[in-house]
Structure 1
Amino acid sequence: MLRSLLSVTAATALAITLGAAPPGAGSARAATAGGSAATLPTVNMEATVKAAQIDPRRADDTVTTGAKASVLAVEQALQARHLLDASWVDGYFGTKTVDAYAAYQRSLGYTGLDANGLPGRTSLTTLGQGRFTVTHPISPGARVDWDGQTVNERTQSMLRAAEGILNRSIVLDQGSYNPGGDPTSAGTHDGGGVVDISVAGMTTATRTNVVRALRQVGFAAWLRNPNQGDWPWHIHAAAINDTDLSSQAQHQVGDYYLGLNGLANRQPDDGPRITIHTWEEYQRLQ
């Protein structure tokens, strides 16, 4: 994965602020070449990535709560690079902005998952040089093994947290980064953050509890049954705000926020209702 930080001079280096400010754009200090301080706006990466998943799935142009100022700053930077028309600079991270951001990623030499239209930490920091600084950075981490299935470090941490809530092990039927592995998955497992979980030996109540625990720690998760598609009973889970999500998985996460089931029929969500949190939001609540 092409995630290494690009070198920049001391005159243009931008700090990635790790403070826990609320979503939205505020201000930050960036050193100028003369040593004086200039005020730059901030872009909350968590809020921006969330908007990039939800906004393209909306039937209207409602902006994602807490994301408008950050998305505007990103869109203005894309417009300045002649990648986004001014008419789409509105704080709504819809399909035009996703496409523009993907084009920007490709202009940096990124391909595949690194050019999926979701802002990655490195590309977002580079886009902001001289324009904004980045707060609340997200990284999927390296790819690791989970009982023979590939996931990334962020997903691994989320699964471990769900196991702690449940006091039981989670067994995967399918991991992440598995393009073409299961045609019934419709590309959702091509990228990171997505897993299928075995429900073998679980009662109906246990299945529901597992889905609930996965949702608590930041997954868009649903119990799937054979009546819905050509698959056995299993739990499908996509990690919200994983910047390695395939386009199909991004759409599932957006639909989850909109109260839908993550399937092509876009029916109402059939899982346990909880307050939706990302992994980072869940951690801050602990």
Structure 2
Amino acid sequence: MNSRALQTGRSRRWLLSRGTAVAVAAIGANALLAERATALPAVDMEMVLLAAQVDPPKADTGLTPGASAHVLEVERALNAKGLLASSAVDGHYGTSTVSAYAAWQRSLGYSGLDANGYPGPTSLTSLGSGRFTVTRPVSTGSRSSSYGGARVNARTRDMLAAADGMLSWSLALDQGSYSTTDPTSAGTHDGGGVVDITATNLTTTQRWETVRALRTVGFAAWLRTPSQGSWPYHIHAAAVSDTDLATPAANQIHDYYFGKNGLANHAADDTPTAYRTAFTWWEKYSRG
């Protein structure tokens, strides 16, 4: 073999080996990118919603057990968007975080209940792009569903049906959601997830059993009596972790979580011990 042929052969072998090295490097880079993508932290939407409704009325920056790590990821993303001060990135979903998240929702073109500061699955997924993944998403479904002739969202409808199935009498709604017609409701029905159930014709035991059934499926529910206000006997129920809750209703979730009555006086819950249940929400109940 002459020197030129030898040199040509060596050049080809060098090019082949270099091509192999480049290919290996590319494969390694792609694997690294894939690893980074799968290594994104997971944000549990159920826990973020719980904190968003439990944390704001707190007098301090106490953390909601099981939620703070997920809230931190949301707050870091809001901070990166320039919507939340670094000092408020603390795992406590307080009023500053509610306001910052509402600003994020408005930046996506949302308004009204869709910009209430409580994460929806679409806005949360968008916020987490490149930063975190969303697990256990919560959706209210259609806002034009109904139950017993009263307007509710699909999630609330399903919750009412499940509670109704536990009772030997039927739930009759006195007021549904997305309603501003009753001034005694103090704005709690302005959004979704809130209903009033007629209790005038129920016995005392039936009233309390209805409260227990509603709580079992994930409502913050209380028996309201004429002695508490200018209203007849009824049961007020607000769905825990409903993304459409008006702020006054979300504050009632806070009260319920801490064993209070959900009224303006924030007194202790007067529900008899036999009719109380462990704090839960619809998705958690559905999982069994």
Name the TM tier (shorter chain): 0.7 to 0.9
Amino acid at match of 1:37: E
Equivalent in the alignment of 2:279: 276
TM-score (norm 1): 0.86
SS at match of 2:146: strand
Amino acid at match of 1:93: Y
1:36 to 26, 34, 37: 34
Amino acid at match of 1:243: T
SS at match of 1:263: coil
Equivalent in the alignment of 1:145: 146
Equivalent in the alignment of 2:243: 243
For 2:276 and 2:159, how far apart are their aligned partners in 1? 19
Question: Are the equivalent residues in 2 in contact too, given 1:57–1:255 (CA < 8 A)?
Answer: no
The structural deviation recorded for 1:101 is 0.6
CA RMSD of aligned residues (A): 1.4
Higher helix share: 2
The structural deviation recorded for 1:60 is 2.7
How is 1:105-124 mapped onto 2 (pairs within 5 angstroms)?
A: 105-124=105-124
Query: Gaps (5+ residues) in structure 1?
Result: 1-31
SS at match of 2:165: helix
Amino acid at match of 2:249: A
Q: 1:158 to 1:130 in 2, by over 3 A?
A: same
The structural deviation recorded for 1:36 is 2.9
Equivalent in the alignment of 1:51: 51
Q: 1:65 to 1:34 in 2, by over 3 A?
A: closer
SS at match of 1:223: strand
Equivalent in the alignment of 1:202: 202
- Tell me which moved more, 169-178 or 271-280: 271-280
SS at match of 1:37: helix
For 1:200 and 1:112, how far apart are their aligned partners in 2? 34
Deviations 1:245-268 (A, max 9, x none): 011110001111011100111111
Higher strand share: 1
Question: Are the equivalent residues in 1 in contact too, given 2:172–2:198 (CA < 8 A)?
Answer: yes
Deviations 1:5-63 (A, max 9, x none): xxxxxxxxxxxxxxxxxxxxxxxxxxx89973321001000000000000112233221
The structural deviation recorded for 1:127 is 0.2
SS at match of 1:124: helix
SS at match of 1:244: coil
Question: Are the equivalent residues in 2 in contact too, given 1:63–1:92 (CA < 8 A)?
Answer: yes
Equivalent in the alignment of 1:222: 222
Question: Are the equivalent residues in 2 in contact too, given 1:240–1:253 (CA < 8 A)?
Answer: yes
- Higher Rg: 2
SS at match of 1:96: helix
Amino acid at match of 2:285: Y
Amino acid at match of 2:174: D
For 1:176 and 1:165, how far apart are their aligned partners in 2? 22
Moved beyond 4 Å, runs of 4+: 32-35
For 2:131 and 2:99, how far apart are their aligned partners in 1? 21
Equivalent in the alignment of 1:188: 188
Equivalent in the alignment of 2:18: none
For 2:72 and 2:280, how far apart are their aligned partners in 1? 23
TM-score (norm 2): 0.85
For 2:227 and 2:166, how far apart are their aligned partners in 1? 29
